[in-house]
Homo-oligomer: A and B are copies of this chain.
Amino acid sequence: MFSERILRVLERLGGVSAATAVRARLAPRTEPAPPRFRVEREADAGRIAAWWESRDPAGRDQLADPHTIATLPAYAANIENMIGTVKLPVGVVGPLRVNGLHAQGDYLVPLATTEAALVASYARGAHLITRAGGASAAMLSEGVLRSPAFLFADMVEAGTFVGWAAANAGRLRVAAEATTRHGKLEAIDPFIDNDTVFLVCRYTTGDAAGQNMVTIATDALCRAVLEGCPVQPRAWFIEGNFSGDKKASYLGLITGRGRKVSASVLIPEALVRRCLHVGVDRMLDYARVAQLGAMLSGQIGAQGHYANGLAAFYIATGQDAACVAESAVGFTRMERRDDGLFMSVTLPNLLVGSVGGGTGLPAQRAALELMGLAGTGKAAALAEVVASLCLAGEISIMAAIAAGDFTRAHHSLARTRT
């Protein structure tokens, strides 16, 4: 009746007999906690030294090493309560040839990861793309969302509110854009659920990923609404949890959130065979199964492992790694074409910037500069490189699985000792 698996779980939990003991473990405890670590915005060497004083010096040496201490001021605007830095190894993939609307060139792509075989796998795909003449890539749209919510007395007020906002859209745009040099309000889409209104505000954000920028602009927009609108909400919230910020969502898949980029490549069958040790037909067999598996298990979109490349790239280049949750969504397609393998990826939710966030930190900026993509005017090219990188990763993993190499690669590169 109950599956064995559930029974084993329950057994581990101790079962009914252990309920009293379990209750004791889970109950609130009122004894005083150690003094809390007060929020400190400044990253100060003395304070960090003091904090480590009573703690494990080996830990201090790894987190608060001299190099970190020497670059402390660089971190001041990016963190609170700083006690050191964590180091992630960076491997290089490439040259990855990208023929993009914005990106043009052979890029060395830095990836920060602690997972063995990941860099090797992306490097294999990148090599193949480059040999095939490069990935065609284009940023198709952009638009970061904020979606404030407004609660009204009833549907009539909700409708009146939306009507007023539409009639005064110009004024709202002015208010929003006054807060930012680079952000532009592109569209407001109202969504009404009876007495509740979400205003989905869509911005372009220049070269920044722009999540803070759109928050501040939308706050100003909301205040302009509240000042001018004849009906007032009984409550309002700057974000109605509708925008998909840091969450995979169908809204993001359908309308895009962040930069939407597509990349593709056409690889002659001979090259597929030589580099990937597998034929095109078998790749296509796997593509069909992989798409079926994605749909049957309820994934948003259908792809292999965008998250691997995105996380490694985001961390290496100072992007917001939490955005992997929303960015790792999209479609990978394979088709036979012109006696070769056509392959494309489309990622509708890339949250990447060449300025802002962690892109100015010392190592992160150095990583961006390896690609020549640090600073103003580079975000669109950056997005196209990321999509091309994901394309490389998809080719490599799908070939590894199709050829039966996947496990062996993990065995030898990961040297797993489990």
Q: Is A264 interfacial (CB 8 A cutoff)?
A: yes
Q: With A159-B13, A321-B315 in contact, is A1–B172 under 8 Å at CB?
A: yes
> 0/1 per residue, A313-327, Cβ < 8 Å to B?
001101011111110
Q: Report A390 CB to chain B, min CB distance, Å.
A: 12
> Are the C-beta atoms of A28 and B169 separated by less than 8 Å?
no
Assembled-state Cα–Cα distance A91/B51 (Å): 12
How extensive is the interface on chain A, given as a class? Answer: 35 or more
> Are the C-beta atoms of A411 and B240 separated by less than 8 Å?
no
Assembled-state Cα–Cα distance A301/B295 (Å): 6
> Are the C-beta atoms of B140 and A192 separated by less than 8 Å?
yes
Q: Is A180 interfacial (CB 8 A cutoff)?
A: yes
Chief secondary structure at chain A's binding surface:
mixed
Q: With A85-B363, A322-B310 in contact, is A215–B410 under 8 Å at CB?
A: yes
Assembled-state Cα–Cα distance A99/B202 (Å): 35
Given contacts A28-B133, A250-B298, 8 further A-B contacts (CB under 8 A): A8-B186, A25-B99, A34-B106, A41-B413, A136-B155, A194-B346, A237-B286, A288-B335
Assembled-state Cα–Cα distance A27/B138 (Å): 12
Q: Is A154 interfacial (CB 8 A cutoff)?
A: yes
Assembled-state Cα–Cα distance A237/B401 (Å): 6
Assembled-state Cα–Cα distance A58/B304 (Å): 36
Q: Is A162 interfacial (CB 8 A cutoff)?
A: yes
Q: Is A56 interfacial (CB 8 A cutoff)?
A: yes
Q: With A307-B325, A367-B63, A410-B215 in contact, is A156–B91 under 8 Å at CB?
A: no
> Are the C-beta atoms of B299 and A244 separated by less than 8 Å?
yes
Neighbour of A78 across the interface among B15, B89, B180, CB < 8 A: B89
Neighbour of A196 across the interface among B79, B130, B292, CB < 8 A: B292
The chain B residue with its CB closest to the CB of A290 is B241
Q: Report A204 CB to chain B, min CB distance, Å.
A: 8
